[in-house]
């Protein structure tokens, strides 16, 4: 099963490349994936329906949390997979002719649709609650992307967002329920929870389990568009028709039905189950059918009909009896066949005629009889006409509810449910007839609709679905065999009721003259009358007040939330930094201080102001305090930043005095490069700090600052004395040496013991670098390397990203032209600086220390596993080396020094770190597992190589990329902005001493 998922997602990643090569015909290649998976599924029939009745597959995922990639295919999952994979393959084949060759973003659309098929398959075979939730949310995200495919249409974007918000809200409630249920049951394995449901509900955790099931049902209700959340599904019809045919007829909305069916064998007796499942299902069936009768868009007729059918299915699978379970799954399969076919037919009508309006469509059947026959078969199945799948399934549903109504234990509620199911069938027949009349009928006074001829390949998918509908109706025995094992799960819970097969009944085309058949005839008669009186029905519906509309209620709710958000934002986001800091710091000291005081814990013993073994701490502390006070009193920006850095250097000294050289080194490097970044950024700001400490709230600020500092000291003292357990860090030295193969505990912890945390921090660093760049660059990141060519007598672009045809290229070429050396001179770009900005001494110093710093950074990288250093410290050192070279030679020199762009470095670093975690998994180990390799090499002798060094190399590259991005954003780009603002076209000289006649308009 995991192989099926891997193939789906892997081909989805490759889909954009296939579409670039083959165009819309790439849909055939994508269709081969679910088609092949469908073939594999057929081969699983024997293992699933023999022996234990299920095929299980478990792969460890997060062993520490007991979370596994656990998959289980039983009868219910097998039947659902038939629908997901089979209809998915046909819809992808249909897409190859539905979309036009010139349509854009087909690669992304195809990838998302194929990935959705994989996610839906994963959802129905997942046997772990958290894994099920992962696939559940994947379907939500992918449906959002698919519904909003037409990004330029406001309706598509609105509908996609609406569907996302509703289903995500339900998914969050469902997540809480899943966690509660797993905790109450003591396991997150879904099959085990359902099997132990009766003792679980009767035990001490029964109340928690019952509440958890209700929360899970909230997720199912929102996903399957039951009242009051039914409004999102008709809105989602803004999606392309293939999306409607698959997601909203055969796949996504069936997820909630599947979840109800999965839980019903164990939890149908939960007190709130029947009011929620049966009550909301019945209401949804009637509301959807009622609204389908007033639609003038044939796609919306089907959409509201789908809402009605989803309510019908929910009631059937949620009743909790064996015969209802059998009938419900039978109806689920039948609905997937006829409703997917009808949506595909609507797509063909819209594609060939350009309209879906029943008031404009006329004479389509005479233009395409084949299409009319295909649609007629599926619509008749939807209405429950004999000899078709819908008739067989609906007869079984009515039969189950007749038995339910006859049970004395149900009371009048059983008759109410039976009457509701019959009324729903009446509405279904009426809107089925309305669909056929609206799509294919000839309307008096309406001109015949122009209709293009249909290619057989375009009609193949709905035609095959209609043939399957006929085959299912004429020969339901195979479907009956597929469903009986699931129905037996509910039958086994009923004592003294005979065999499971007898309790569940069976599917058949003819059960004789039964009450269910009479109810069907009654539904046909009333439905036909309702269709015949469609004009009167429309007039009656038009008199219903407009406010009776769930979509309107949703919009009003969202509008009210927006108004509240605006009100709160207007009173909290006041544009005052002092106000924000006051709120943050007040909350940061008031809440912890109140908690500490209420706890009334005594202060720990042995408190001292200065470590007697390190009196230099007093000097370092005094320096930190003095620097902090100087930063507060400074009236220049540069002085304030410098004082903050001095305080940081003092903290680094404290680390060193406490025997933490690794932290001291990192702190010192961070302070240095942050100082450089601040100084570069402050060039665009006024030199003086205006209103630095003035204002009437000055005393309040001082009090808040002192209170925050005192609270943090008090909290730290309390924390040091509050420990009652043995610190986990005491084991780190042994783990670092034995497991991580290194003596530097800090570095081994970062790249081995807590590698996941570090990888997440690397991602944050890359995002931060991108954020800094996005604040500065407007047309792009500004670091793309362009092709090189020869300009003047020097070579420009061989080592730089400078466009030879730009002004910067001309300036750099001129500097090379007048260089004393014939070869490429080092720090040649310094010759492009204005004389007053050059420093020969600084250039000489840069020549002396640049390469040494780079070598030292590599030493820190390689030695960091056993000595102070590591990838982070090494990357910061290399970043400082680049900063020095930039300060010596300007922005041209920065490009000379870095032939690789900052974005590429960030991507390469993340890729190296990710690869170091993925490769062990491919070799049979765990993610980020470390291997220690000992070997002997000539000259070097015995070598001990730890593979976590590869991860540390990724850290090194990411940090260098971050430093380079900061230098190019806050340094080079701001330099260029200054030069553009100071340039005077009338003068004979360009900035930096470059003659005007050598300048070429452009941008590096």
For 624-734, list the strands marked E by DSSP.
none
More reliable by pLDDT, 183 or 926? 183
pLDDT per position as a tens digit, 593-627: 888 888 777 777 777 777 777 788 888 889 999 99
Quote the pLDDT of residue 1001: 34
Q: How confident is the model at residue 714 (pLDDT cuts 50, 70, 90)?
A: confident
Question: Of the given ranges (44-48, 102-106, 242-246, 747-751), which has the lowest mean pLDDT?
Answer: 102-106
Give the pairing type, strands 932-937 and 794-796: unpaired
Average pLDDT over every residue of 953-979: 84
Asked if 951 and 916 count as a contact pair (C-beta separation under 8 A), the reply is: yes
All residues at 6 or more sequence positions from 806 whose CB lies less than 8 Å from its CB, including other chains: 1000, 1001, 1002, 1003, 1004
| Interatomic CA distance for residues 493 and 198, integer angstroms | 9
> In 3D, which of 762, 802, 702 has the Cα closest to residue 905?
762
Kindly tell me if the per-residue pLDDT of 288 is higher than 60. yes
Q: How confident is the model at residue 475 (pLDDT cuts 50, 70, 90)?
A: very high
* Residue 797: both structure tokens together: 């672009």
> In 3D, which of 147, 141, 110, 108 has the Cα closest to residue 123?
141
Backbone φ and ψ for 636, nearest 5 degrees, come out as -120, 140
Q: How confident is the model at residue 719 (pLDDT cuts 50, 70, 90)?
A: confident
pLDDT per position as a tens digit, 875-918: 999 999 999 888 888 777 787 778 788 888 999 999 999 999 88
How many helices and strands in the chain, by DSSP H and E? 41, 6
Give the pairing type, strands 932-937 and 941-946: antiparallel
Quote the pLDDT of residue 499: 39
Average pLDDT over every residue of 742-767: 88
152 half-sphere exposure, CB direction, 13 A CA radius: 2
Share of the chain above pLDDT 90, in %: 44
| Interatomic CA distance for residues 932 and 930, integer angstroms | 7
- Supply the pTM of this predicted model: 0.73
Q: Is 1000 exposed, middle or buried (0-12, 13-18, 19+ CB in 10 A)?
A: middle
pLDDT per position as a tens digit, 411-443: 788 899 999 999 999 999 999 999 999 999 998
Kindly tell me if the per-residue pLDDT of 803 is higher than 70. no
Kindly tell me if the per-residue pLDDT of 393 is higher than 90. yes
Question: Of the given ranges (57-71, 368-382, 929-943), which has the lowest mean pLDDT?
Answer: 929-943
Q: How confident is the model at residue 987 (pLDDT cuts 50, 70, 90)?
A: very low
| Interatomic CA distance for residues 467 and 470, integer angstroms | 5
> In 3D, which of 641, 674, 643, 647 has the Cα closest to residue 880?
674
Question: Of the given ranges (177-181, 400-404, 407-411, 988-992), which has the lowest mean pLDDT?
Answer: 988-992
Q: How confident is the model at residue 385 (pLDDT cuts 50, 70, 90)?
A: very high
Backbone φ and ψ for 57, nearest 5 degrees, come out as -150, 120
Q: How confident is the model at residue 493 (pLDDT cuts 50, 70, 90)?
A: low
Count the Cβ atoms, other than its own, within 10 Å of residue 311: 28
Average pLDDT over every residue of 813-829: 51
Question: Of the given ranges (133-142, 491-500, 759-768), which has the lowest mean pLDDT?
Answer: 491-500
* Residue 849: both structure tokens together: 């220390």
Asked if 541 and 294 count as a contact pair (C-beta separation under 8 A), the reply is: yes
Average pLDDT over every residue of 465-478: 95
Kindly tell me if the per-residue pLDDT of 502 is higher than 50. no
Kindly tell me if the per-residue pLDDT of 722 is higher than 80. no
| Interatomic CA distance for residues 558 and 166, integer angstroms | 11
Asked if 116 and 143 count as a contact pair (C-beta separation under 8 A), the reply is: yes
Kindly tell me if the per-residue pLDDT of 673 is higher than 70. yes
Kindly tell me if the per-residue pLDDT of 36 is higher than 90. yes
Quote the pLDDT of residue 194: 93
Tell me, what DSSP letter sits at residue 126?
B
Long-range contacts of 647-651 (CB under 8 A, 24+ apart): 647/623, 648/674, 650/620, 650/621, 650/623, 650/624, 651/624
* Residue 816: both structure tokens together: 């090379």
Kindly tell me if the per-residue pLDDT of 187 is higher than 60. yes
Kindly tell me if the per-residue pLDDT of 548 is higher than 90. no
Quote the pLDDT of residue 889: 80
Quote the pLDDT of residue 811: 56
| Interatomic CA distance for residues 267 and 279, integer angstroms | 16
Average pLDDT over every residue of 674-696: 75
Q: How confident is the model at residue 789 (pLDDT cuts 50, 70, 90)?
A: very low
| Interatomic CA distance for residues 64 and 315, integer angstroms | 40
Quote the pLDDT of residue 34: 96
pLDDT per position as a tens digit, 554-563: 888 888 999 9
Kindly tell me if the per-residue pLDDT of 1004 is higher than 60. no
Average pLDDT over every residue of 640-663: 90
Average pLDDT over every residue of 24-29: 92
Q: How confident is the model at residue 337 (pLDDT cuts 50, 70, 90)?
A: very high
| Interatomic CA distance for residues 526 and 520, integer angstroms | 10
| Interatomic CA distance for residues 308 and 630, integer angstroms | 72
Q: How confident is the model at residue 1002 (pLDDT cuts 50, 70, 90)?
A: very low
| Interatomic CA distance for residues 227 and 214, integer angstroms | 15
Cα angle at 213 between 212 and 217, to 5 degrees? 120
HEC states along 134-162?
Answer: HHHHHHHHHHHHHHCCCCCCHHHHHHHHH
> In 3D, which of 84, 253, 298, 280 has the Cα closest to residue 163?
253
Highest-confidence segment of 47-56, 101-110, 372-381:
372-381
Tell me, what DSSP letter sits at residue 789?
E
pLDDT per position as a tens digit, 210-236: 999 999 999 999 999 998 899 899 988
Quote the pLDDT of residue 380: 96
* Residue 321: both structure tokens together: 């009896």
Quote the pLDDT of residue 945: 85
| Interatomic CA distance for residues 86 and 31, integer angstroms | 10
Asked if 640 and 631 count as a contact pair (C-beta separation under 8 A), the reply is: yes
pLDDT per position as a tens digit, 64-84: 777 889 999 999 999 999 999
CB contact burial 357-390 (16+ within 10 A = b; e otherwise): ebeebbbbbebbeebbebbbbbbbbbbbbeebbb
Kindly tell me if the per-residue pLDDT of 737 is higher than 80. yes
Q: Is 730 exposed, middle or buried (0-12, 13-18, 19+ CB in 10 A)?
A: exposed
Kindly tell me if the per-residue pLDDT of 516 is higher than 60. yes
| Interatomic CA distance for residues 103 and 110, integer angstroms | 12
* Residue 599: both structure tokens together: 């706890």
Look up tokens 């097969």; give the residue. 501
Q: How confident is the model at residue 975 (pLDDT cuts 50, 70, 90)?
A: confident
Quote the pLDDT of residue 991: 43
Give me the chain's average pLDDT, please: 85
More reliable by pLDDT, 832 or 387? 387
* Residue 439: both structure tokens together: 């799509």
């Amino acid at each position: 099963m995991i192989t099926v998922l891997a193939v789906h997602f892997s081909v989805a990643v490759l889909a954009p490349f296939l579409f670039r090569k083959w165009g819309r015909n790439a849909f055939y290649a994508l269709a081969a994936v679910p088609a092949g998976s469908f073939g594999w599924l057929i081969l699983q029939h024997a293992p699933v329906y023999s022996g234990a009745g299920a095929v299980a597959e478990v792969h460890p995922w997060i062993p520490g949390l007991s979370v596994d990639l656990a998959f289980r295919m039983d009868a219910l999952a097998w039947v659902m997979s038939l629908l997901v994979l089979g209809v998915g393959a046909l819809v992808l084949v249909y897409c190859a002719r539905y979309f036009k060759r010139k349509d854009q973003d087909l690669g992304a659309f195809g990838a998302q649709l194929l990935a959705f098929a994989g996610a839906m398959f994963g959802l129905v075979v997942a046997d772990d609650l958290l894994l099920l939730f992962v696939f559940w949310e994947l379907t939500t995200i992918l449906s959002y992307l698919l519904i909003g495919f037409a990004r330029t249409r406001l309706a598509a974007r609105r509908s996609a967002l609406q569907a996302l918000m509703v289903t995500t809200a339900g998914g969050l409630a469902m997540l809480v329920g899943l966690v509660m249920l797993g905790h109450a049951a003591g396991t997150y394995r879904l099959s085990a929870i359902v099997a132990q449901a009766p003792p679980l509900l009767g035990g001490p955790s029964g109340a928690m389990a019952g509440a958890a099931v209700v929360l899970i049902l909230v997720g199912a209700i929102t996903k399957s568009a039951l009242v009051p959340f039914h409004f999102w599904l008709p809105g989602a019809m803004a999606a392309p028709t293939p999306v409607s045919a698959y997601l909203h007829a055969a796949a996504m909305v069936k997820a909630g039905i599947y979840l109800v069916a999965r839980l019903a064998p164990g939890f149908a007796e939960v007190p709130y189950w029947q009011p929620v499942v049966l009550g909301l299902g019945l209401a949804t069936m009637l509301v959807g059918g009622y609204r389908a009768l007033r639609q003038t868009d044939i796609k919306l007729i089907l959409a509201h009909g789908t809402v009605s059918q989803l309510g019908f299915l929910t009631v059937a699978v949620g009743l909790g009896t064996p015969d209802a379970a059998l009938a419900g799954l039978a109806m689920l399969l039948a609905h997937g066949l006829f409703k997917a076919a009808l949506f595909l037919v609507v797509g063909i009508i819209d594609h060939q005629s350009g309209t879906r309006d029943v008031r404009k469509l006329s004479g389509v059947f005479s233009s395409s009889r084949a299409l009319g026959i295909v649609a007629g078969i599926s619509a008749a199945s939807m209405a429950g006409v004999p000899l078709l799948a819908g008739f067989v399934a609906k007869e079984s549903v009515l039969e189950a509810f007749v038995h339910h109504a006859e049970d004395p234990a149900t009371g009048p509620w059983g008759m109410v449910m039976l009457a509701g199911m019959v009324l729903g069938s009446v509405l279904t027949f009426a809107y089925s007839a309305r669909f056929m009349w609206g799509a294919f009928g000839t309307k008096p006074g309406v001109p015949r609709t122009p209709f293009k001829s249909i290619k057989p390949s375009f009609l193949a998918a709905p035609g095959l679905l209609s043939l399957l509908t006929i085959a299912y109706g004429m020969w339901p025995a195979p479907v009956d065999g597929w469903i009986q094992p699931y129905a037996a799960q509910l039958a086994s819970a009923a004592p003294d009721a005979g065999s499971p097969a007898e309790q569940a009944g069976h599917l058949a085309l003819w059960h004789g003259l039964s009450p269910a058949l009479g109810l069907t005839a009654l539904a046909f008669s009333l439905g036909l009358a309702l269709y015949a009186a469609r004009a009167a029905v429309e007039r009656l519906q038009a008199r219903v007040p407009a406010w009776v509309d769930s979509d309107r209620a949703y919009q009003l709710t969202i509008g009210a939330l927006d108004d509240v958000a605006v009100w709160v934002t207007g009173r909290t986001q006041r544009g005052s930094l002092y106000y924000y800091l006051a709120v943050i710091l007040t909350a940061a000291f008031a809440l912890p201080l109140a908690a500490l005081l209420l706890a009334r814990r005594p202060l720990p013993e042995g408190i001292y102001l200065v470590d007697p073994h390190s009196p230099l701490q007093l000097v370092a502390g005094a320096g930190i305090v003095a620097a902090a006070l100087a930063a507060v009193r400074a009236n220049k920006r540069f002085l304030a930043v410098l004082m903050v850095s001095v305080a940081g250097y003092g903290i680094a000294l404290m680390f060193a005095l406490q025997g933490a050289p690794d932290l001291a080194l990192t702190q010192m490097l961070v302070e240095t490069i942050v100082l450089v970044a601040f100084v570069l950024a402050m060039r665009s700001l006024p030199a003086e700090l205006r209103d630095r400490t003035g204002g009437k709230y000055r005393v309040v600020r001082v009090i808040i600052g002192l209170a925050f500092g005192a609270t943090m000291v008090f909290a730290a003292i309390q924390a040091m004395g509050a420990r009652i357990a043995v610190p986990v860090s005491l084991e780190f030295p042994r783990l670092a040496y034995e497991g991580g193969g290194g003596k530097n505990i800090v570095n081994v912890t970062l790249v081995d013991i807590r590698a996941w945390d570090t990888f997440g921090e690397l991602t944050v660093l890359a995002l931060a670098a991108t954020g800094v760049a996005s604040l500065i660059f407007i047309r792009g990141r500004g670091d793309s390397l362009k092709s090189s060519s020869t300009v003047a007598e020097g070579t420009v672009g061989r080592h730089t990203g400078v466009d030879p045809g730009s002004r910067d290229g001309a300036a750099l070429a001129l500097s090379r032209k007048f260089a004393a050396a014939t070869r490429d001179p080092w720090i040649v770009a310094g010759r492009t600086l204005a004389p007053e900005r050059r420093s020969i001494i600084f250039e000489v110093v840069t020549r002396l220390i640049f390469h040494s710093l780079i070598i030292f950074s590599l030493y820190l990288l390689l030695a960091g596993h056993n000595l102070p250093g590591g990838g982070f410290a090494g990357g910061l050192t290399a970043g400082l080396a680049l900063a020095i070279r930039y300060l010596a030679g300007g922005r041209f020199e920065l490009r000379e020094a870095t032939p690789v762009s900052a974005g590429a470095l960030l991507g390469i670093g993340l890729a190296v770190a990710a690869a170091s975690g993925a490769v062990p998994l491919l070799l049979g180990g765990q993610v980020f597992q470390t291997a220690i390799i000992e070997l002997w090499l000539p000259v070097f002798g015995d070598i001990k190589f730890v593979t976590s060094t590869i991860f540390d190399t990724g850290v090194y590259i990411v940090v260098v990329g971050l430093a380079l991005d900061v230098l190019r954003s806050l340094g080079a780009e701001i330099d260029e902005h200054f030069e553009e603002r100071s340039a005077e076209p009338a003068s004979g000289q360009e900035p930096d001493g470059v003659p005007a006649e050598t300048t070429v308009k452009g941008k590096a």
